[in-house]
Structure 1
Amino acid sequence: MAALHNDKSRNDILNRLKRAEGQLRGIQRMIEEGEPCLPIATQMAAVRKALDSTYVRMTMCFMQQQMEEKLSCAGQEPENMDAMLEEIETLLGKIR
């Protein structure tokens, strides 16, 4: 399987993961300090959503990269690809 080659996309995904990592550390601290379960559960849900969102973003970056590569090999210009990928990303975001 191919890796992400776009530095901007790779950095975006890494930054999202670092934010989720910070949230996880915050949850660990909350548990250590004996915080109530409801705020902990709320933070856990936020981390899950952040990771789901990051997964969708990574998938979209990979799809775009692969489509551009295949189209350029075929000598075709990608028409309306950005709009199509935005629609796909929106649809994928709704299955979470």
Structure 2
Amino acid sequence: MEYNDKMKNRVKRVEGQVKAILRMMEEGKDCRDLVVQMSAARNALDRTIGLVVSTNLEHCVREQIEKGENTEALIQEAVNLLVKSR
């Protein structure tokens, strides 16, 4: 699978959030502020997982349909990946 710039930029944004979290810890910031930032980073990563899985699923389903093959297993695998990521 080819990962596009949109996907890479999302991961870079999460990387920046994680670095900010570490900086907040080193500065002894309030627990509530830290948890808010950690939650934001987790949500951003979860949305990125969804984007990667859905983009890959779309590509794979198109290939399967072109070959005249069943897509049920691919869809189930994608759902399993999403469930496992939570």
Which range, TM-score by smaller chain?
A: 0.7 to 0.9
Give, in whole Å, the separation in 1 of the partners of 2:25 and 2:54. 35
Alpha-carbon distance, 1:67 to partner: 0.8
What pairs with 1:1-96 in structure 2 (closer than 5 Å)?
A: 4-5=1-2, 10-74=4-68
Give structure 1 regions of 4+ aligned residues with deviation exceeding 6 angstroms.
none
Q: Report the TM-score when normalising by structure 2.
A: 0.74
Give, in whole Å, the separation in 2 of the partners of 1:59 and 1:73. 21
- Provide the aligned length of Structure 1 versus Structure 2: 70
Alpha-carbon distance, 1:14 to partner: 1.0
Q: Which has the higher helix share?
A: 2
* RMSD, aligned CA: 1.6
Q: Please, which runs of 5 or more residues in structure 2 have no aligned partner?
A: 69-81
